Amino acid sequence: MSTPTIRGQAINAAAVRRDFPVLSQTVNGRPLVYLDNAATSQTPRQVIDALVRYYETDNANVHRGIHALSMRASDQYERSRARLALFIGERKAEHVVFTRNATEAINLVAHAWGDRHVGAGDEILLTEMEHHSNIVPWQLLAQRKGARLVYAHIGSDGQLDLDEMRELIGPRTKLVAITHASNVLGTINPVAEIAGMARRVGAPVLLDAAQSAPHLAVDIEALGCDFLALSAHKMLGPTGVGALWAREERLAEMDPFLGGGGMIDRVDEQMSTWAPVPDRYEAGTPSIADAIAFEPAIEYLEQLGMDNVRQHEIELNALAIDRLHSMPGVTIHGPQSPEARAGVVSFALAGVHPHDIATILDTEGVAVRAGHHCAQLVMRRLGVPATTRASFYVYNTAHEIEALVEGLGKVRRVFG
């Protein structure tokens, strides 16, 4: 194998890898090549250590306790919230609500904001490239309220058409819910422009940042969105915690959603009054350990620098696109430029179904995802039942892209 070169100045992936115990294993006798980062990212030692530290020294329920452990747990929990807020450009920690994941954050908005503000005949504008998690909550809301979903189309270049967007956003538009980056095509959407259009009709913008917050610098002010959803498990953090950020004005116009301990002020038999945000939206015992262990994940990304993360992935994109294009029968879906996409490359190999590709790659230790990627509308737009997706992160290397390409050679041989 010739040693492929990428500039590799942005991130020293070889050094980064040493922080990720999971990466040093072999799978089916071959070194694990983990290229399924858009599904979930791997976890650095620092995050695992934070979980262990929590359970070994500080485990206690938050907020309600006077004793030492409860105070320590509460302090760390709130510190993580503040860190996450700053990570996305928000100084007021209380505008960040911890959820289980991005999906729950979006459902929270659909209920707490949507049920109050969306009515019969209103429109919610989505795009065809949304993940099911940014479609189904709005379908359920639309069904409850008699509203309608309107979809912006994906062009043949894998991009949205801003002119179409401008036409679709009108007086009936009550909400615009779009992804920052597509989990299939990689496409990075022009959020600030779209938010500007939405602002002119007074419609808030919900940004699904599940695929962007892990991979590029996200700043709520520059983006101009009103709500933002993300998941820790896609950005080096643990499973079980995600977040909703909401602008102060929007928080003020939301009803409670999940009811229970911790979100109330006073409970009477028939009705209650509510605690201030963010507690109002965190009913019951939160994912305390996971939320606390999210902080070192954010810290890890900050230390790498989000611009470097982005640059590293552009380099991997460039190499992957180049190498895949050199193989006969490969079609790459989505924008062809490495800069136009997050670190996601979906492709087709003529005559071979993605599940067969994924199974054969797995025997070579290469983990990719095959399927509809929770984006059936994208599959229909592409005219395929499924795609094979390789997605990159800070620890991936040029060698691993070579391993992917070699694995595809084996696929070719089996199905030749």
Ligand X SMILES: Cc1ncc(COP(=O)(O)O)c(C=O)c1O
Q: Which of residues 255-284 bind another protein (CB under 8 A)?
A: 264-266, 275
**What is the C-alpha separation between 296 and 83, in angstroms, rounded?**
10
**What is the C-alpha separation between 6 and 315, in angstroms, rounded?**
6
Report which of 321, 332, 292, 106 is spatially closest to residue 204, judged by C-alpha positions.
106
- Lookup result for tokens 């990627």: 373
Report which of 275, 205, 217, 284 is spatially closest to residue 245, judged by C-alpha positions.
205
273 lies in the site for ligand X, by CB under 6 A: no
Does 374 participate in catalysis according to the annotation?
yes
85 membership: H or E segment, kind and range: helix 68-87
Choose which of 179, 187, 189, 317 interacts with ligand X (CB under 6 A).
179
Instruction: State the nearest-atom distance from the C-beta of 262 to ligand X, in Å.
Output: 7
53 lies in the site for another protein, by CB under 8 A: no
Give the one entry of a copy of itself, ligand X, another protein, none that residue 200 binds, where binding means its C-beta sits below a cut-off of 5 to 8 angstroms depending on kind: none
Choose which of 211, 317, 346, 387 interacts with ligand X (CB under 6 A).
211
Choose which of 74, 76, 80, 103 interacts with ligand X (CB under 6 A).
103
Q: Tokens for 187? A: 């496409």
Instruction: State the nearest-atom distance from the C-beta of 280 to another protein, in Å.
Output: 11
Part in contact with another protein (CB under 8 A); list of ranges 148-156, 164-172, 213-221, 347-355: 347-355
Instruction: State the nearest-atom distance from the C-beta of 399 to a copy of itself, in Å.
Output: 18
Q: Which residues pair with 341 in a beta bridge?
A: 187
Give the one entry of another protein, a copy of itself, ligand X, none that residue 336 binds, where binding means its C-beta sits below a cut-off of 5 to 8 angstroms depending on kind: none
**What is the C-alpha separation between 126 and 97, in angstroms, rounded?**
23
- Listed as own residue / partner, the contacts of 23-29 with beta carbons closer than 8 Å and 24 or more positions apart are 23/395, 26/365, 27/362, 27/365, 27/367, 28/362, 28/363, 28/364, 28/365, 29/365
Which residue in the list 374, 384, 406, 410 is annotated as catalytic? Answer: 374
Residues in touch with ligand X (CB under 6 A): 38, 101-103, 131, 133-134, 179, 183, 208, 210-211, 231, 242, 261, 284-285, 374
